[in-house]
Structure 1
Amino acid sequence: MLEDFWKGLGGKFAERWLTALFSPAFAFWAGGFLAWLYGQGWSTVERLGWLGALRQWTADARGLPFLAQALLVVGLLIVLTLSGLLLQHLSRPTLRLLEGYWPPRATSVREWSRRRLSDRADGAATRLRVLLAVPPDTRSAVETAELGRLRGSYQQVPPRPAQRMPTRLGNVLRAAELRPGSRYGLDAVTCWPRLWLLLPKDSRQEVAAARTGLYLSVQSWLCALVFTVFVVWAWWAPVVGLAVAWVTYYTRMLAAARTYGTLIEACFDVHRGLLYSALNWPRPANPRAEYAAGQRISAYLSTGSRQTSPTFIDPPPTMTVLPS
């Protein structure tokens, strides 16, 4: 029985290590170890080379008692696990910060950044209208490529300046958040938690995977930013950290936000009828009626209603209150 216990424990440790090896926390601590080597243990590397230094450290670790080796492995796993848990805890507030939800003290900076991005978006929209006015058969290859790029960027910015955020990431997510309201009258902030409970399993898995990808990019960005503290050992730590943070933001994070926002829009496009059915709300007959019905549903879910309309479909049976 003890043998089976140790086998199972070893399998769980191997699974934990495999998960930890592909986490932002592992990359952070591995980079910190290299920075420490540069500042403290570089003489050993210069004397023996990388392979020789690794052999020596490995031999030193093998020379430790079995209990010490076990404690070393467990300690490293605990550090990685706790670091991962801390990153998960910080993912949401960090994402909100990157979206542009800044404290009141930063109002002036927020407005300056929002106006700058808003002016750029308005200029791109003007250029897009000019290109759309050109007949398709007379557009050059350069104009066609520019038209495709501007169409994509136009979808990533809220239509009204007052709705725009001071960061590109915030605009991407805000634009996706506003589109269900502009199309169907459904306020995404109010309706999304309810719709999420009704989604089919496959749809929930796709959205959850996209959300996980977005949070992983946020964690990678945060680790890269904090990596700059290793400047105490290596002068190049801030350069590497800021470069990785910049690349992560403009490649992984924005792409993950676009994917996540697109999937949320798709859920409203395809499954919004589930919300009507779950609320026993009559289905609208046409898009114009649907927009008005969506607004009423959003208000109903947000503040409730005491009105006698609309009449529910298949209303639940009346509950009888028994005397106490």
Structure 2
Amino acid sequence: MFSATLGELAGVAGRRSVRGVLLPSLVFCCLALLVVATGRGSAHDALHAWRQGSWESKVLVVAGFVLALVCVSTALGSAQTALIRLAEGYWSPPVRRTIGRLGRSHHRRAVRRADDACAHDRYPPRTRPDDIMPTRLGNALKAAELYPRLRYGIDAALVWPRLHPLLPDTFLTVLGAARTGLTALLASAFLSVVLAVGGAGYLWAVRAPTPLFLLCLWGGGLAAWLCYRGALLRAVVYGQHLRVAFDLYRGHLLEAVGRPVGDGEDERVHWERLCLFWHRGILPHHVATPDRPPQPSPDPPPAHTPPGFSPSVSLLTAAAFTAAGLAGALTGTG
């Protein structure tokens, strides 16, 4: 039984690796090879050169392709968490102060205009404007991250690593599939951007035909946008699964650490004590119990939003791709 379970888990992990890492890397490497092959001539010329080449050269080309595929897959597999954080909007301070500020201003306006039903799964509450992220994907995941804190007083960053091992295998399978779908689409979007920028730069340098240059740049940008849109839907689904995990299985963690499972404010007090213990080492019995339930804090004043038009990050990216395509077509291609 144990060996069968291990084999089943290995099979699931293998399918996730193929779907989330290997397939996007394979498509990327094939398209990159096509761009390089057609950069100095037509696809017919590249195919003719392949047929006329010696078997030694063909072996070297195939070996190089396999090596590139392995390198891209390995790098992509180890960078999945970094890609998610990049898509969420956790950027370096200079980018956060410029592009990030524009993105947050855009989404604060969007939250004020949206109705509660539409904004519930996609944005943090209106009462927490400082938690607005500069990207739509970041806001969807931030809303899921804030859910356990607002409902139960649970700090998700502290509790999730301890709750995750206690989740049932069936739920872990569903949760893993949702995360794999999210990371696969984000990886595809990232590789599409790399191919669009790198391939267009190569075609511009070798003075390839203008239509080929624009097809590579704008086609790759369009593919990245479509993959990102798909990732947004996956992020909402993944966030729902995270909410369900805290709703249904948070009591398992209280039982595992030997704490009583309470209701309402009693449960909130237990979680606040545990989070203080895990975060700062304060023993639970040293935390004074409040004499009365804490009153909800008043709504904070709306965060300052610069007047005027605040474009989204997607719109800024589209404008950059459009400008780069026009500039490249006018200056460098044949």
Find the counterpart in structure 2 of residue 205 from structure 1: 173
Per the TM alignment, residue 26 of structure 1 is displaced from its structure 2 partner at its CA by 1.5
- Matched AA of 2:216: A
Find the counterpart in structure 1 of residue 269 from structure 2: 292
Matches within 5 A, 1:153-302: 153-159=119-125, 160-228=128-196, 229-231=198-200, 232-233=202-203, 234-235=212-213, 236-250=215-229, 252-284=230-262, 286-302=263-279
Distance 1:203 1:297, change over 3 A: same
Contact residue 124 and residue 154 of structure 1 kept, 8 A: no
The size of the alignment, in residue pairs, is 258
CA distance in 2, matches of 1:290, 1:278: 15
Find the counterpart in structure 2 of residue 31 from structure 1: 31
- Matched AA of 2:103: S
Per the TM alignment, residue 219 of structure 1 is displaced from its structure 2 partner at its CA by 1.1
Per the TM alignment, residue 122 of structure 1 is displaced from its structure 2 partner at its CA by 1.0
Per the TM alignment, residue 305 of structure 1 is displaced from its structure 2 partner at its CA by 2.3
Percent of pairs identical after alignment?
Answer: 30
CA distance in 2, matches of 1:44, 1:292: 71
SS for the counterpart of 1:212 is: helix
CA distance in 2, matches of 1:226, 1:154: 33
SS for the counterpart of 2:91 is: coil
What TM-score do you get using the length of structure 2 for normalisation? 0.69
Distance 1:44 1:188, change over 3 A: same
Find the counterpart in structure 1 of residue 106 from structure 2: 116
Find the counterpart in structure 2 of residue 44 from structure 1: 44
Per the TM alignment, residue 246 of structure 1 is displaced from its structure 2 partner at its CA by 1.0
Q: Which moved more, 1:215-224 or 1:296-305?
A: 296-305
SS for the counterpart of 1:308 is: helix
Distance 1:200 1:154, change over 3 A: closer
Per the TM alignment, residue 19 of structure 1 is displaced from its structure 2 partner at its CA by 4.6
Contact residue 88 and residue 219 of structure 1 kept, 8 A: no
In the alignment, structure 2 segments of 5+ residues that lack a partner are 1-13, 204-211, 288-334
CA distance in 2, matches of 1:71, 1:123: 58
CA distance in 2, matches of 1:177, 1:240: 34
Per the TM alignment, residue 164 of structure 1 is displaced from its structure 2 partner at its CA by 1.1
CA distance in 2, matches of 1:19, 1:58: 29
CA distance in 1, matches of 2:165, 2:43: 58
CA offset digits 1:250-285 (Å, max 9, x no partner): 1x211121122111111111111111011101110x
Matches within 5 A, 1:51-70: 59-60=51-52, 64=55
SS for the counterpart of 1:23 is: helix
Per the TM alignment, residue 92 of structure 1 is displaced from its structure 2 partner at its CA by 2.2
CA distance in 1, matches of 2:158, 2:82: 20
CA distance in 1, matches of 2:284, 2:26: 57
Find the counterpart in structure 2 of residue 146 from structure 1: none
In the alignment, structure 1 segments of 5+ residues that lack a partner are 1-14, 46-52, 129-150, 311-324
- Matched AA of 2:130: A
